[in-house]
Amino acid sequence: MLSPAQAPDPGGAWWALNIIASPAQEDQIFWRLESFGCQGMASQAHGEDRISIHAYLPWFRATLLDLAALALRLRQDALVAGQPIPKLRWERIEAEDWSNSWKQHWQPEPVGDKLLICPAWLDPPPHPGRLLLRLDPGMAFGPGTHPTTQLCLEALEMRLGAGTEGVTVADVGCGSGILSVAAALLGAKRVFAVDIDPLAVQATLHNRDLNGLTDRIVVAQGSLEHIPEMVDGLVCNILTDVILDMIPEFGLVVKKGGWLILSGILLEQAKLVAEMLEANEWAVAALWRRGEWCCLNARMT
């Protein structure tokens, strides 16, 4: 793949990828696409035995040879797993077509028992008993369908609710702000959202305001040092290596007896993360998994 310094003028163009596969391959394909650098991924079911996965990649970040190599890796993954060979197709689209191409593949989706994630550009369907979370992920973030995001949302649902109205939460590496918004909707009194990426800060501010939570979510560019007060709980859905680096500092921002929700972790990495947590006075209370991904729930000892 081309580095930004080597890339030609992208002209706002994108690669639009479409993969036809079996439902059992979804998590592996999402992981492979994320590793490849894809953004804005979504899946759509076609009956019980077929799904289509749509993903987007800035045009200047991949050549035709790179895409052919991706197809080969998907084939190898399927052969190792004893699954049918996925069919990958791609086309170049211009910036003005990107938004419409992306939006047509994403529909409202219930998550857990309490949330309904709804694209900002659609009228929400009837949702009795569910909290409506409007989301506009923009061009740089996914729509909340990735297993790690859904695991975090379900874990937040377990942590928040009746009797937790005074709880404060930190969302480290907030991305689109989906976890911050969910925490506030589920009952957190105040959420502190931080990310080193200025695009993430903009996206979180936009989604905070879209959901009418301007007075309850505080957004800042930075990391743990930009959380202005001790919090009751912290959620972090980013790369495992980054999580490992931050674990020794979590105790500086989470109150005694507080909790952590950590994801973005492959199952094969869970033991390493759990050992690092225990070495820093955190007790792992639960490990939830979805496909190859997991979410660790921990409490300060």
Q: What is the pLDDT of residue 58?
A: 84
Residue 209 to residue 204: CA distance in whole angstroms: 9
Residue 140 to residue 143: CA distance in whole angstroms: 10
Range(s) of the chain covered by CATH 3.40.50.150: 109-300
State both tokens at 144: 């909340």
Cβ distance 54 to 17 under 8 Å?
Answer: yes
Q: What is the pLDDT of residue 103?
A: 67
DSSP letter at 177 equals S
Q: In terms of CATH architecture, what is 109-300?
A: 3-Layer(aba) Sandwich (3.40)
State both tokens at 12: 């706002």
Range(s) of the chain covered by CATH 3.30.70.120: 14-103
- Whole-model pTM? 0.73
Residue 203 to residue 135: CA distance in whole angstroms: 9
Look at the domain 14-103 and name its fold. Answer: Alpha-Beta Plaits (3.30.70)
Strand 231-237 with 217-221, pairing: unpaired
Residue 30 to residue 187: CA distance in whole angstroms: 31
Angle (CA) 68-22-97 rounded to 5° is 55
Residue 278 to residue 155: CA distance in whole angstroms: 20
Q: What is the pLDDT of residue 7?
A: 34
Residues forming beta bridges with residue 261, ordered by sequence position: 235, 297
Q: What is the pLDDT of residue 275?
A: 97
Q: What is the pLDDT of residue 115?
A: 96
Cβ distance 224 to 196 under 8 Å?
Answer: no
One digit per residue, the tens of pLDDT, for the chain of length 301 reads 332 333 333 457 888 899 999 988 988 898 899 889 887 788 888 878 899 998 888 888 888 888 988 999 999 999 998 999 999 999 888 766 555 665 666 788 899 999 999 988 888 888 899 999 999 876 556 677 788 899 999 999 999 977 777 899 999 999 899 999 999 999 999 999 999 988 889 999 999 999 999 999 999 999 999 999 999 999 999 888 899 999 999 999 999 999 999 998 988 899 999 999 999 999 999 999 987 889 999 999 8
